[in-house]
Amino acid sequence: MRRGTLDDLAAFAVVARTRSFTRAAAELGLSPSALSHAMRGLEARLGVRLLARTTRSVAPTPAGTQLLRSLDPALLEVERGLAALADWRGEPSGSLRLTTFAYAARAVLQPALPRFLLDHPAVAVEVVIDDRLTDIVAAGFDAGIRFGETVERDMVAVRVGPDLRTVVVATPDYFARHTAPETPYDLEAHNCVNYRLIGGGGLLPWEFLNAGREVRVRPRGQLVVNEGDLAGAAVRAGAGLGYMLADEVADDLATGRLVSVLDAWCLPFPGCHLYYPSRQVTPALRALIDALRSLGKAAAE
């Protein structure tokens, strides 16, 4: 396509829609004579007459009408593409789709997202909570939030939360009835509340590390869940041992409602990270990253 032809085609569409060189010229910011000259040049290049002119009106010819049918959708797509560039410059705007899991939704997004939405009214956010590890590119997400150790290496990962630690806990009443485990292997003799990974179908392993020695066990128990609040309720009722995040049971441990065991085996691990597939981010995603990082730093201090 020759240089300028696309502009002339867009101008033709305006002339055909307004059926007036005067009105079309005013809309395009041209003089009527310059616009008429451009239309004659376009017709000469295409070798077909597109506009029927009289002293009082202008209208598309049958060939012009046929061209307009295919031209209008194409020009609309071009306009949409140009409008979408607003997501890549200037003030944050547009939409963001995020995938995360229940803990990160509570600990990372819940404290920060309302303020972010108030500060950036031109940004729309959709959050999908799913404990399965999602291919964010294939699923059409802009970013995800997961524990740092589970993020794929080809992703750009940004820390948005402090290091975390899992603990093994139960009520004092439970330990009055059962001998406290001294090593992870002793968990086999206990009634443990387990979490099932919906995506993979298996039970979440209980992971431990001591003096460089890593141990992964899947202890047995009466209850298997895929929802943290139900697991916590069972543990707090004395129905079994729980493998839980330390910050979620901090108050219980402080008041003595729960007691932790195997502390020497429960070491910190990388906390929540926001990740995305490209180093080029929209202003909307950059603004969200900045908001979450600020909150994460404050929580770590």
Q: Looking at the structure, do residues 208 and 65 belong to the same domain, yes or no?
A: no
Instruction: Name the domain boundary from 87, 117, 147.
Output: 87
Which pLDDT belongs to residue 165?
A: 93
Cα(102)–Cα(22) distance, integer angstroms: 60
66 and 26 co-located in one domain: yes
Q: What is the pLDDT of residue 288?
A: 95
8 A C-beta contact, residue 93 and residue 283: yes
What pLDDT, on a 0 to 100 scale, did the predictor assign at position 105? 94
- Same-domain pairing of 238 and 257: yes
* Bridge-based pairing state of the strands 123-129 and 94-100: parallel
Determine if the pTM surpasses 0.75: no
Q: How many domains in the chain?
A: 3
Domain identity same for 26 and 70: yes
CATH number for the domain harbouring residue 79: 1.10.10.10
Domain's final residue, options 87, 109, 131: 87
Q: Kindly give the pairing relationship between strand 58-60 and strand 51-53.
A: antiparallel
Structure tokens at 120: 């950036």
CATH of the domain at 239: 3.40.190.290
Mean pLDDT per 10-residue run, the chain (301 residues)?
72 90 88 91 92 86 91 80 60 90 92 94 93 82 90 87 94 96 95 83 86 89 90 96 94 96 92 85 90 70 48
Residues 219 and 75 placed together within one structural domain of the fold: no
**209 within 8 A of 265, measured Cβ to Cβ:** yes
pLDDT at position 1 is: 47
Task: Check whether residue 153 and residue 282 sit in a common domain.
Answer: yes
Domain that holds residue 291: 94-161+274-300
Q: Say which CATH number the domain at 291 has.
A: 3.40.190.10
